[in-house]
Amino acid sequence: MTAGRSMQAGTTGAGEPQAPGNPQAPANPQAPGNPDGPVALVVDAEGLVCPWPVLKARKALNTLAAGAVIEVIATDPASYIDIPAFCDTGGHVLLDQRRDGPRFVYRVRKGAGD
Q: Is the pLDDT of residue 102 over 70?
A: yes
What is the pTM for the complete model shown?
0.69
pLDDT tens across 38-89, in order?
Answer: 999 999 999 999 999 999 999 999 999 999 999 999 999 999 999 999 999 9
Residue 34 — very low, low, confident or very high, per pLDDT cuts 50/70/90? Answer: low
| Cα dihedral 10, 15, 16, 20 sign | positive
- Please classify residue 73 by burial: count the beta carbons closer than 10 Å to its beta carbon, then call 0-12 exposed, 13-18 middle and 19+ buried: buried
* Identified catalytic residue from 50, 64, 78, 93: 50
87 among known catalytic residues: no
Q: Bigger pLDDT: 92 or 35?
A: 92
